[in-house]
Amino acid sequence: MQPRTALSLLLSITLIFTIYTLYSHSDAYSALPAESPRSFESLSSLSFTLEQVTTAKVPTMRVHLRNSSPHAFTILTWGTPLDATALSQQIFTFTPLDLAAPKVSVPNVQISRVQPPPRADFLEIPPHKEVVKDIPLTEKWIPRTKLRIGATGRWHAVWEKALKDMPRGDLDKLTNSMRDEFHVREAEFDLSVQRPGTPAEAAKGPGGEGKIVDPEAKKVEDEEGKYGKGEGLLI
């Protein structure tokens, strides 16, 4: 065989092998999803806001969580402003408007979580709805003065689907979930205009029932426990 012929044959074999390898590699990975910022885009549809409830009998903060997405979300409330223990986890920040006032020291209580998470610690937010929860600010360490209150933390598990559609394994192991940080803009509160209230009032607090509100008809229907804890108000 002539050297030139042998070289041509070798090049042809190499080219065929290269094409086969590339085709096989592409076909094997074609089913894998490409990386995308979808998780972050989805979580950006969830936004918290804070406001003072001036009509409450005790100093009260109202937490709003708005879902601006056309899809339902299921969230784990741990470590968020909707957590039942949020005031003792350093999620909220309290800054006196008076610069000469002492800094507010927020307690950080170590909490032992039950695994897997109880179903009561999951919350579903329907598309274009808002969850509202009232939190009495009756702790002794919260000063009765003018404050800026904000919040920061991390979503530990969020799914872009309704709670009824969630696989039990994902809820138990928090798998296939989205996670990211959240930041809540500060809002001004004047806690000096409300009386602290009695211990019984503080323990009871407002907004203890879960309801679904039709924003157009302004119709309120009792739905306690339907969406997780039933401690929020769905608007």
Q: Does the bond joining 196 to the residue before it have cis omega, within 30 degrees of 0?
A: no
Which pLDDT tens digit goes with each residue over 201-229?
443 433 333 333 433 333 333 333 333 44
Question: What pLDDT, on the 0 to 100 scale, is given for residue 5?
Answer: 59
| 219-222/92-96 β-pairing | unpaired
Q: Give the percent of the chain with pLDDT over 90.
A: 58
Question: What pLDDT, on the 0 to 100 scale, is given for residue 110?
Answer: 86
Q: Which residues pair with 121 in a beta bridge?
A: none
Question: Could you please report the per-residue DSSP string of 150-199?
Answer: EEEEEEEEEESS-GGGS-HHHHHHT-S-EEEEEEEEEEEEEGGGS----H
What is the rounded average pLDDT for all residues in the chain? 76
Question: What pLDDT, on the 0 to 100 scale, is given for residue 127?
Answer: 96
Q: Return the number of other C-beta atoms located less than 10 Å from residue 220's C-beta.
A: 13
Which pLDDT tens digit goes with each residue over 113-139?
889 999 999 999 999 999 999 999 999
Q: What SS3 class is residue 133?
A: strand
Q: 144, 129, 148, 181: which is closest to 51 by C-alpha?
A: 148
CATH number for the 37-234 domain, one of 2.60.40.10, 2.60.40.2970, 3.90.700.10, 3.90.1150.110? 2.60.40.2970
The residues spanned by each domain of the chain are 37-234
Which pLDDT tens digit goes with each residue over 84-101?
999 999 999 999 999 999
